[in-house]
Structure 1
Amino acid sequence: MIKKRKVLPSETPTVTIEKLGHDARGITHLDGKIVFIDNALQGEQLKFQYTSTRSKFDEGVAIEILTPSEDRQQARCPHAVLCGGCSLQHMKSSAQIREKQATMLEQLAHFGNVQVPEILSPLTAEPFNYRRKARMGAKYVEKKGGALVGFREKRSNFLAAINECHVLHKVIADQIPRLRELIAECDGRFEIPQLEVAVGDDAAAIIVRHLKPLSEADHRRWLMFAESTGIHLYYQPKGLDSVHKVWPADGLERLCYRLPDFELEMRFHPLDFTQVNFEINRQMVTRAINLLDVQPEERVLDLFCGLGNFTLPLARRAREVVGVEGDEALVQRGIENATHNKIDNVRFYGADLTKDITSHPWAKEGFDKILIDPPRSGALEVVRELARFKAKRVVYVSCNPATLARDAGELTKLGYRLSKAGVMDMFPHTTHVESMAVFERKN
């Protein structure tokens, strides 16, 4: 039986936005139901169009702003309302940061039961064309007159039909129209579902996912694109293990970014995890090292260390640094980066930090300072074991304020106190909240 599509109300009600949700949608009430509205800001009176109706709530998008907020600005991108690549271009950058800081403080108080004695100044940089890594969808749609390349529409599985992007690095953003044309020209236009991009300081790379072998003509098309743009070309015929470099044929599969404050050059494969915003990353690393206040005689533990983004800068200051990471490929990359930068006072270990760590040799050592940079799920399991290291100070770098708050509550139980915290605008125009917190061991 074919399920009939629900007919949406045709009226465009006028409402006043009561507050913003954590997903940046405006929240109001109408006819006894809560309504979530895209492209809305707190305090605004506006007209909206329904996009879905449920039993307990409705959803919509603002179509006319009657009384705009002082925080509103004209979105730079014409696709901002529809495209899911960003959700806050209609809000001034200063207001975005204010909201993110409020979210961090609220979560710390609510879930961690901790207050922040000192709020660090936010880390900010150019809010446009900052994104150096992205996984973009691709699809040939005859009804839309060709190929689509980009992000999905908000709250949808459909790709947004975009010709420009103001958050992607310009090396990639400037190629979106050409990539759409290229896929449309391919014999296998229906078999290219994804493009993954990475931009380093000196070069960029694109990974073309193809479900069937490329024809010789298609291979030539992609090769011509790479040669004319200078963008390194990779193919992915199957899983991640099948990713291989096609051009240039120099055998080198490393991009790089630099941390000038520490005279470091960090090499990475296009698939490796790196921060998407290199300028904020540089500021973040410098701030974290300064907040740890590492002394020349001290030993430091870097948990969830990745390819050494904090580990190697720490090694410039400390007597010894131990980096621990769950992804073995990144462990090897950390070792390579240490060798490349002629650093010999670091050790890297592979370990699943979501499980019991007590059997690992590094877990039996003592450390003066600890840095933690976990994924969105946080670091609860390893945080519960931190007391064993007797570290005087812990710096926690977070990409999820809810798990930061949870782990902060756990650290206070272990005898630490939260002394400072602040946000970093790693993902401008999105609702992602990146933050950094400092914990001191009580005497």
Structure 2
Amino acid sequence: MVTFYKPVKKAVEKKAVKVTCTDLDLQGRGVARTDKYVYFVEGLMPGDTANVLADLVKGKVAEATITKIITPSKDRLEKDCPLIGQCGGCPLEHIPAEQLVDAKVAGIRRLFTKTFGEELSEPSFIHKSSDKNYRRACRFAIRGDHGKLYLGFRQEKSHNLVKVSNCLTLTKRMNDAIKPLNKVINQMEQKGEIGHIELLDSDGLLGILIRITKTLKERDTNLLQEVGKDLNAVISVVEPYKDPMAITKQETTRERIIFGSIDELFIVSHGVKIKCKPSSFVQVNSSVNEKMLDTVLEMVEPSADSRIMDLFCGLGNFAMPIAKSGAKVVGVDIVSKMIEDARNNAKEQGLDNARFEVADLEELFENQSWAKAEYDAVVMDPGRQGAKRASLFLIKKQVKKVVLISCNPLAASRDCQEFIKAGYKINRWGVCDMFPRTSHIEMVILMTKA
């Protein structure tokens, strides 16, 4: 009979330990050291002395929970929102903004130094904004309480919802919409079929998206249209749909505008008007996005003689301003509806030098005609998983200049490592603090090859 080895789990100490926090890690957790362990503790910040209880121990590293803050840091901020500790939206609100950004930068430098075996230089720029009213897009879940529905945000590390009537990070126009939306969803016949509600505070009107599991009825349409009038908003629904022209009658979903004109919903990226829908993905922090665009354009140095490729382009946040500068641009993304919108926007703006293609950059794409062309520079802004296949593709093409925008420093370090091994060097880098009061950080990295 075969006997399989079963590792014995290390017993976790069930006794609180007094520690003093000295650092923050890249996730915003407090770091404290004793002779026995290095503790990583959520909610702890440098200067805090606290009792902590280990939850998970691996070697000399322990993840722990605060049981009591004995002496708070002199820098610790007071709560400025009644939902702190309930809503998971601002987990690091207790840390001053400058200190938090510095900690994010320090964490990135430690990560990259460990990955490459040599120290990463200081960032050449740090773009940031106010930590209040900076969000121009958000998604609300729907919660039922004593027979009434409310808009809410998820609790941290939970599926439970917290009722929200006002959020410090949202724009005024979005906060003003919460109460009317709470009222109308409770008047709707189909209130039990609403999935969630998304808001987009565009540079035109406010966009409101209702996701619903059945086709919206006329009565509920009329109710939502009245809210659209009151809020001066563009309202759409995403609902089940069967295309009568399709051979197979498989049900899909579609977004349908029920109030307002799509012409009134748009963002302005570096002077270029980009029409969008209430469901469109846009950079949440418009102030930081403009600064990021300035930096990317400076790095790419577009001219009428240059050819630029924008991978994971979305609606064309980078591609459209680059095209406006006169360069020939090819934008590529997997989402066909976004590419269709990007093409329409380029046509409306008279940007004949901008071309947009649909492709899955994690699957075979290298044989497509746009991929075989030569480019002077490439901008790529992948999701959190990174862009390994695209990176290897660019290395093989020996593109001389690559600008990587990444919302995940760990994935960015892996992608950069591929370029470094192929002879590229990090010429400049910096951060864009798109989400103050959180651990999230956006990196912009310029890599060049001689």
Into which bin does the TM-score normalised by the smaller protein fall?
A: 0.7 to 0.9
Q: For residue 237 of structure 1, what is the aligned residue in structure 2? A: 239
CA drift of 1:75 comes to 3.4
Give the SS at the match of 2:375: coil
The 8 Å contact of residues 366 and 390 in structure 1, kept in 2 or not, is answered as no
Report the equivalent of 2:416.
408
8 A Cα contact 1:45 1:68, kept in partner: yes
Alpha-carbon spacing, 1:37–1:150, altered in 2? closer, same or farther (3 Å): farther
Name the SS for the 1:111 alignment partner.
Answer: helix
Equivalent positions of 1:236-315 (< 5 A) are 236-238=238-240, 241-248=253-260, 250=261, 252=262, 255-260=265-270, 263-315=271-323
Other-structure match for 2:87: 83
User: Alpha carbons of 1:313 and 1:219: their partners in 2 closer, same or farther (altered >3 Å)?
Assistant: closer
Could you tell me whether the CA contact under 8 Å between 2:129 and 2:288 is conserved in 1? Answer: yes
Q: Following the alignment from structure 1 to structure 2, what is the Cα–Cα distance between the partners of residues 20 and 118?
A: 18
State the partner residue of 2:131. 127
**Residue pair 2:205, 2:264 contacting (<8 A) in 1 also:** no
One-letter amino acid of the structure 2 residue matched with residue 244 of structure 1: R
Aligned-partner residue type, residue 444 of structure 2: M
3-state SS in 1 of match to 2:150: strand
How far residue 238 of structure 1 moved from its aligned partner, in angstroms, is 3.6
Distance 1:91 1:140 in 2: 33
Aligned partner of 1:160 in structure 2 is 162
Instruction: Choose 100-109 or 184-193, whichever is displaced more.
Output: 184-193
On the 8 A contact 1:253/1:269 being kept in 2, the answer is no
Q: Which deviates more, 17-26 or 120-129? A: 17-26
Partner of 1:433: 441
Name the structure 2 match of 1:365.
Answer: 373
Report deviation, 1:389.
Answer: 3.3
Show CA shifts across 1:322-341 (max 9, x none).
Answer: 22222111221221121121
What is the Cα deviation at residue 397 of structure 1?
0.9
Choose 30-39 or 264-273, whichever is displaced more: 30-39
- Per-residue deviation, 1:230: 1.3
Query: Structure 2: which 5+ residue stretches go unaligned?
Result: 1-12, 242-251
Across the aligned residues of Structure 1 and Structure 2, the Cα RMSD in angstroms comes to 3.0
Deviation of 1:199 after TM superposition, in Å, equals 1.5
Question: Secondary structure of 1:408's match?
Answer: helix
- CA contact 1:138–1:149 (8 Å) conserved in 2: yes
Distance in 2 separating the partners of 1:54 and 1:393: 44
User: Which amino acid letter does the alignment assign opposite residue 389 of structure 2?
Assistant: E
CA–CA distance in structure 1, aligned partners of residues 181 and 334 of structure 2 = 35
Question: Which position in structure 2 is the counterpart of 1:23?
Answer: 27
Counterpart mapping for 1:10-89 below 5 A: 15-17=19-21, 19-27=23-31, 37-46=41-50, 60=65, 65-89=69-93
Residues 29 and 181 of structure 1: CA distance in aligned 2, closer, same or farther (over 3 Å): farther
| Deviation, structure 1 residue 349 | 1.6
Decide whether aligned partners of structure 1 residues 283 and 55 sit closer, same or farther in structure 2, where only a CA change above 3 A counts: closer
TM-score computed with the length of structure 2 as normaliser: 0.85
- Give the distance between the partners of 2:216 and 2:367, measured in 1 at CA: 48
Task: State the distance in 1 between where 2:57 and 2:329 align.
Answer: 55
3-state DSSP of counterpart to 1:385: helix
CA pair 340-406 structure 1, distance change in 2 beyond 3 A: same
Query: Matched residue of 1:109: which SS?
Result: helix
Task: For residue 161 of structure 2, give the secondary structure of its aligned residue in structure 1.
Answer: coil
Deviation at 1:70, TM superposition (A): 4.3
What residue identity is the alignment partner of 2:360? D
Q: What is the TM-score with the length of structure 1 in the denominator?
A: 0.86
Distance in 2 between the 1:356 and 1:110 partners? 32
Question: How big is the shift at 1:393?
Answer: 1.6
Check 1:294–1:187 CA distance in 2 against 1; reply closer, same or farther (3 A cut).
closer
| Deviation (angstroms), 1:190 | 3.6
State percent identity of aligned pairs: 28
In 2, Cα distance between equivalents of 1:376 and 1:65: 34
